[in-house]
Chains A and B, each alone.
Chain A
Amino acid sequence: MAIYAAANPETLAMAKAGEDIDTGQWRVNVVGAHFVPAKKDAAAYIDRQNSVVVDFNFTNLSAATSNLFARVAKVDPPVAGLGEPTFYLGRDKSILFDLHPGMAEYVTAVWKWPDNTPPPQSLRLVLGGQIFKKRDNLFGTPGWLPGSPVASVTLPVEVKTDEATQ
């Protein structure tokens, strides 16, 4: 069965921006993406970098507070030199630590875009799934573990110059 599944992978569902996607632990809705060029004379370090900003709505569907939303969306195909994004909470523009169960939040992810890479015309994100294991293989403790990808979203990327990154 596993060999058959590996030989005949299911095609990944293509979701649209604004569509609710259930990844297991999260309900995700990708709002949109934009590119913010570096402002060389900005006071904050983050504003002196090229950045790609993606807005999400996240709802934690699990029974406990979690910070694993940070691992849901991955840029695909990978871009050389692109690190992990920083997440900001939409309601107070501060760095987001974790999301509580059942409390939907508007979340902004900011990727520092490599200087030597041209701004993207579009961005494809793959949304990874999570599976709940009552007993994991190491300790036998319950928890959410990474599963196979659930959907992909392709977003047009506009350049926005007048807006602060966060």
Chain B
Amino acid sequence: MSLRTIVALTAAAAVLYGLQQTRPGYADITRPLAVTGVAGERLSGREFTVQVTNARLAKRLQVTAYGQSRILTTSGVWLIVNLKAEARNKTVAITAASWRGPTGIQFDASQRLSTFPSLISGQRLEPGIEKSGQVFLEIPPDQLDGGVLLIARGPFIPLDSEITVDLGSLPASVEEISLDARRNGG
């Protein structure tokens, strides 16, 4: 093997290694497309439109649904987000909501209320018919400031819209919030 071949092979290997280390990975190339906005604003993604109407914090939730009442505590704080949503072109569901803290840590919506009727993820959204729903999250208090709410059709849908909502300044946490399925959450 001549010296020239060895130099060419080494250079090619170095270039390929550099490309492997610096080019974006599959997850970056196919990541969701962010649509950013603030609470109260109507934000449109590819398949749906959402508008956050209200966000509250509580240490406990008192949940009444399906004939029973229970108290849900958390080691962090409950974030209750009320929102309105509507499909754009065809029937969709928006099943993924999460909170991205100031340092990028992601908290998915709590599944401890996964059967509660007012959840937005449990509803079918039709084009032109606006529906109200809720999202419940458990977040440590130090992750609230500077965080954003993320809403998408599903947790792993590449190249689809992900709505990123800045909720602004949240109200102080109250001790308990009552949620009643018969009053559509409340």
Q: A residues touching B (Cβ–Cβ < 8 Å)?
A: 63-65, 89, 91-92, 94, 97-98, 100-105, 134-135, 139-142
B26 touching A100, Cβ below 8 Å: no
Given B25, B72, B107, B110, which contacts A141 in the complex, CB threshold below 8 Å? B25
Residues of B participating in the A interface, judged by any CB pair closer than 8 Å: 25-27, 70-76, 98, 104-108, 110-112, 114, 138-140, 143
Query: In the complex, how many angstroms separate the beta carbon of B73 from the nearest chain A beta carbon?
Result: 5
Are B111 and A102 touching (Cβ within 8 A)? no
CA distance A134 to B104 in the complex (A): 16
B residues in contact with A105, CB < 8 Å: 75
Known interface pairs A100-B76, A135-B25, A142-B25. Does A89 touch B107 (Cβ–Cβ under 8 Å)? no
Q: How many A-B residue pairs have CB under 8 A?
A: 57
The residue of chain A having its C-beta at the shortest distance from the C-beta of B107 within the complex is A100
Interface of A is mostly: loop
Chain A residue with Cβ nearest B138: A100
Q: How far is the CA of A140 from the CA of B140 in the complex (A)?
A: 31
Q: Which residues of B contact A91 (CB under 8 A)?
A: 73-75
Minimum distance in angstroms from B65 CB to a CB of chain A: 13
Residues in B neighbouring A142, C-beta threshold 8 A: 25, 27
Residues B111 and A92 in contact, CB atoms below 8 Å apart: no
Query: In the assembly, what is the distance between CA of A100 and CA of B26, in Å?
Result: 25
B72, B105, B107, B139: the one within 8 Å of A92 (CB): B72
**Given A63-B105, A64-B105, A102-B105: A97 in contact with B25 (beta carbons within 8 A):** no
**Which residue of chain A is the closest to B98 with respect to CB atoms?**
A65
* Of the residues B25, B105, B114, contact of A101 by C-beta under 8 Å: B105
Nearest chain A CB to B39 CB, angstrom units:
22
| Chain B residue at minimal CB-CB distance from A141 | B27
CB nearest neighbor in A for B29: A140
